[in-house]
Each structure stands twice: as C-alpha cells, then as structure tokens.
Amino acid sequence: MKFATFSIAAFLLATSTAALAVDHMQHMSQTEMHQTDAHVAQTHRGHGTVNKIDLQHNTVNMTHGPIKSLGWPGMTMDFKVKDAAILKDLKPGQNVMFEVVNEGPRRYFVTHITPQK
C-alpha cells in the first residue's frame, strides 16, 4: 500500500510537471506565432511622390509623408517591391498612395502603388 501511495504521488508529480512544461511550450509558441502574425499581416499605408524607378533592382525611390502605423516620419527613401509589374506605369513626379508590408526587422516591401490625382 505504501508503495502504491508513493507511486501515485510520483505519478501526479510527474504529470503535473509535464503539464507545466507543455503549458509553457504552448504559451511560447503562441507568443511566437503572434509576433510572426504581426509581421506577416500588417499592411501600412502612405502617401508620397515618386522620384526614381529602378526596374533592375525592383526599387522605387519616394518622398513620403509620415506613416504613423510604422512610427516613421516623412522622408525620402528607396522601397523594395515584390512585383516589379507595379512599377512599370509609374513616372517620376507622380503623387501616389502606396501600401507597404513589414515582414520582419528591416524587411519592408511595397505591394501596391496607386497614382493619385
């Protein structure tokens, strides 16, 4: 009987420790998933003026206004685009609305550029 009690106690201890470990791991992976989600899903919108289109490097240089959701002030910078097709009808001097996705630290890509009147 003593042995049985001991085994039950040991069993309970082992399972609760294991449960805690699983809990912790689930918590960790959920936290990681949330961080990844934020990077993949977040689209930011900005307004700017096209300065230069570089079809060889898939970049467009724009002077853009502040993008609050990214915490960016207005500035002139090169943006990478995922699909060079969105650059082909653009012209320097055009005012545009654009969407930029953040896929991780320093990984920003313009996904849409819409000329404005």
Binding residues for Cu ion (CB under 5 A): 75, 77
The closest alpha carbon to 50, from 92, 14, 15, 84, belongs to 92
Q: How far is the CB of 83 from Cu ion (least distance, A)?
A: 20
- In the bound complex, what is the minimum distance in angstroms from residue 78's beta carbon to Cu ion? 9
User: What residue ranges in 12-91 does DSSP mark as E strands?
Assistant: 43-54, 59-64, 75-81
- Contact 100/111 with Cβ under 8 angstroms? yes
Nearer to Cu ion, 86 or 110 (CB): 110
Residue 88 sits at the vertex; the CA angle it makes with 87 and 93, to the nearest 5 degrees, is 70
Token pair of 85 as six digits: 């097709």
Residue 47 Cβ, how far from Cu ion at the closest point, in Å? 12
In the complex with Cu ion, the residue whose CB is nearer, 66 or 92, is 66
Specify the residue, 77 or 84, whose C-beta has the smaller distance to Cu ion. Answer: 77
Taking the least distance from each CB to Cu ion, the nearer of 39 and 47 is 47
Which helix (DSSP H) or strand (DSSP E) does residue 23 occupy?
Answer: helix 2-41
Provide, rounded to whole angstroms, the least separation between the CB of residue 45 and Cu ion: 13
